[in-house]
Structure 1
Amino acid sequence: MNALRPGVRDALRAATDPIHARLHRLPVLSALAEGALDRAGYAALLRRLLGFHAAVEATLAAGPSLRPWGIDLAARRRAPLIEADLATLGMPVGPVPLVPLPVLDTAPRALGCLYVTEGSTLGGRQLAQALDGLLPAGEAGRRFLLGHGTRHGVLWRECCAALEACGADPLRRAEMLAAAEASFLAFEAWFSPDRT
């Protein structure tokens, strides 16, 4: 990597940092972090998260293969974890509305979106602890927040390697950055307070 040129992850972080900071201030996500959600609020949050992750997983599965970049999308699915958490809460899963996503029709765009979803696993363990007053000890009810469990480190390193390899080309990097920003914006809009 050129010492004067930041890595792709650094560029992605810089491009999306303002949106990411706004997400931390969303009322429902702030309430989760503070351990202030009740069961109904947590279930509503999970259903909204399911609408995002199910849409992302379906869109990425229908798009270009990321295997040339070392990514197995099936190993990264988190929608089933949300469904398991809802079942633990005794809530029906049923069909949920899906978030409208940006076009993810190239590998760089798909990887830009993957950066958003995989990056969200990083703070999940802390958020899972915030549910201690709501849920009994253990994984049940917090599988989504605990993410990939023992595989987390390996999957995150694979994701970072794919981002750097694909984004080494300036045109692909630009596509990746735009898709990451658009994916974060779609998530933010999905959680806006005026959305029902």
Structure 2
Amino acid sequence: MEAETLSIRDRLRAGTRIDHDRLEDGLRLADPGLTLERYREVLARFYGFWAGWEPRVAAELSDETFLAPRRRLHLLRDDLHTLGLEARSLPACPPPALHGRAEAMGSLYVMEGSTLGGRVILKALDRLGLPGEGGRSYFAGYGDATGAMWRAFLQRLEAEPDASGVLRGAKATFAALADWMLRPA
């Protein structure tokens, strides 16, 4: 099948598979040996990424109605607080270089896709002895609305006319996220 006949989602999956696998394999969040300390570290790094990324994507999209329900920085802040860390003392990651709406949509594809993986990670978190439902809201994503939010995002993504820009944004985001999340402590 020629690239022009593939959906943007299919092009993104194929074009970022290696990037996705590098990040997922490096994080190892579903590993049976995940510890509470490692989980805190991962959440702190995600917070640092989102702290720079969320405003950058908002500036490029200029569509708060669409973006507002997809903001998750506050969830990370709440989870970290529950786990005894204050977010304001954490370093922030420089956001990926994004130029225009198409690249911002590609970047958002990466982060929205993580809500689907988060549902799997939630099961692994049960082993950590987290307090009640606390400390897991980031990976809970949109709860029961996760599937509907993903489908709504994909509908908007497929309407984007610049598929090459979307792919550039997704690749830049995967690269920045992996470099930040997988760097030595």
TM-score (norm. length: structure 2): 0.90
CA separation in 2, counterparts of 1:153 and 1:25?
Answer: 24
Partner SS for 2:151:
helix
Deviation for aligned residue 1:7: 0.4
Aligned equivalent of 2:141: 147
Check conservation: 2:47, 2:87, Cα contact below 8 A.
Answer: no
After superposition, the Cα gap between the structure-2 partners of 1:126 and 1:138, relative to the gap in structure 1 and judged at 3 Å, is farther
Structure 1 contact 139–146 (Cα < 8 Å) conserved:
no
* Secondary structure in structure 2 of the residue aligned to 1:121: helix
Q: Secondary structure at the match of 1:21?
A: helix
Q: Give the letter for the 2:16 counterpart.
A: T
8 Å contact 1:64–1:105 — kept in the other structure?
A: no
Report what 1:44 is aligned to. Answer: 41
Structure 1: 4+ residue segments shifted above 4 A: none
Out of 17, 34, 40, the position equivalent to 2:31 is 34
1:118 to partner: Cα distance:
0.1
**In 2, are the aligned partners of 1:66 and 1:107 still within 8 Å (CA)?**
no
Deviation at 1:86, TM superposition (A): 1.0
Cα deviation for residue 105 of structure 1 reads 3.2
- 2:179 paired residue number: 189
Q: How many angstroms does 1:103 deviate by?
A: 2.5
For 1:178, the equivalent position in structure 2 comes to 168
Whole-Å Cα distance in 2 between the matches of residues 44 and 193 of structure 1? 12
In structure 2, how many angstroms separate the alpha carbons of the residues matched to 1:116 and 1:49? 13
How much does 1:62 deviate?
2.1
SS at match of 2:128: coil
**Counterparts of 2:17 and 2:100, CA distance in 1:** 23
SS of match in other structure, 2:97: coil
Deviation at 1:85, TM superposition (A): 0.9
Kindly provide the CA deviation profile for residues 98-134 of structure 1, in whole angstroms up to 9, marking residues without a partner as x: 2223332311011000000000011111111111121
Alpha-carbon distance in structure 1 between the residues aligned to 2:108 and 2:156: 10
1:113 match:
107
Q: Does residue 81 of the first structure (1) align with residue 75 of the second (2)?
A: yes
What amino acid maps onto 2:144 in structure 1?
T
Deviation of 1:176 after TM superposition, in Å, equals 0.7
**CA root-mean-square deviation:** 2.1
Instruction: Report the 3-state secondary structure (helix = DSSP H, G, I; strand = E; otherwise coil) of the residue aligned with 2:115.
Output: coil
- Pair 1:104 & 2:98 matched: yes
1:129-166: CA deviations, max 9, x gaps? Answer: 11112124753111111101122122111110111001
